[in-house]
Homo-oligomer: A and B are copies of this chain.
């Protein structure tokens, strides 16, 4: 930036890093590159003073300067020359214990650890408040996308009713490739693994656990009630077929893995992760590849969307840096960003939620079958919005594709149970919710 003779005299704030992997390394590089500019803009000069890693001898190829490198993370938390603790080590323990120790010692903590916050968030936020220090975690939810700060600050007065997010880049990449290249699920997963987007064991991504942890954090900050990862209903994308994708495209939808966080008028909340058919005209439909986006619905503000990179060293390191500067400024000012206290969440059971559904049913191809099947929907109060019939591979079989109106989950489940028991129904191949108003 241009020279600024009026720059504020800067105060040095010293960072202690727990972990120095992809995100920690990116942060070290960003601090080295940007420290002068940050000092000019904010009056705070950032210095990395201590770094805890498993193997202190290994060269990490990042400019650690005069930082002390140690294999003892507890020593970083208590060190006199550490003002702000940055937890980028991941996992539940010892991350929880170290974070709690730092907060109890009156040190602000910046964390990128979604598992930790989704399991122990409310307790750690209250500990931070009790000690009057910051616990900031922008990087834990949607990587580089500023989402936590807008939700907890800009929208704290807003009546947020629903948040729908594409918050797992790996599954969005897989679904994009299936949609645009016509790949099978297995082909797209293999390519995601080759690119390093998916782990050798992809369960956490493809079964929705990663998105679920992030959804729990979003629900906690959006609604002010403590929601943890165990409260989240999960369905993954591993059963999505190329045929589902083709049908969705023909009907004007994109299939996406979405996290849906909702609050109802009675104050109860629901948090779930599942594949959904997203209408082409919806802003989430055009979120491609490994990008993330979070769509927020509020009564006064209307529809908002936040879009960007949900993973990777640069984006995640950038989010950590934003939090570090915030914590450092607050430290200098003697302030801190409180999340307030959390109510107890009343969770609405999945069976009591409502959604429109896309259902593909394989049936015998003979007269009267459609009437029988339609009768089952009707008996359970599930109203059919559209139906298409296709020939199946087997000449004696037909494939019926239904889209229902919004119906109670319990009623749809009962419909499916009764359909499965019918002689004329060979199989129910696909059950995918359709994103809409309920």
Contact = CB atoms under 8 A, between A and B. Distances in A.
Main secondary structure, interface of A, reads: mixed
A71 interface: no
B1 A144 contact: no
A4 B341 contact: yes
Given A30-B157, A267-B1, A322-B157, A306 B309 contact: no
Contacts of A144: 300-302, 304
Interface residues of A, number: 80
A5 to B, nearest CB: 8
Contacts of A283: 286-287, 307
Nearest to A336: B333
Contacts of A346: 2
Copies in the complex: 2
A283 B326 CA distance: 29
Nearest to A337: B329
Nearest to A5: B343
B146 A340 contact: no
A298 B318 contact: yes
A308 interface: yes
Given A325-B157, A330-B335, A8 B302 contact: no
Interface string A322-356: 10111001100111101011111110000000000
A321 interface: yes
Interface string A80-107: 0000000000000000000000000000
A158 interface: yes
A155 B224 contact: no
B301 A314 contact: yes
A300 B322 contact: no
Interface of A: 1-4, 6-8, 26, 30, 33-34, 37-38, 40-43, 138, 144-146, 149-150, 153-159, 223-225, 263, 267-268, 281, 283, 286-288, 291, 293, 298-309, 312, 314-315, 317-319, 321-322, 324-326, 329-330, 333-336, 338, 340-346
A78 to B, nearest CB: 26
B345 A2 contact: yes
Contacts of A153: 149, 322, 325-326
Nearest to A126: B6
Contact of A146 (B150, B309, B312): B150
Given A4-B343, A42-B156, A307 B304 contact: yes
A281 B156 CA distance: 33
A146 B138 contact: no
Contacts of A41: 156, 224, 340
A287 B304 CA distance: 12
Nearest to A320: B157
A34 B159 contact: yes
12 contacts: A6-B341, A7-B340, A8-B340, A37-B157, A42-B340, A146-B304, A149-B153, A157-B318, A302-B308, A303-B309, A305-B306, A333-B335
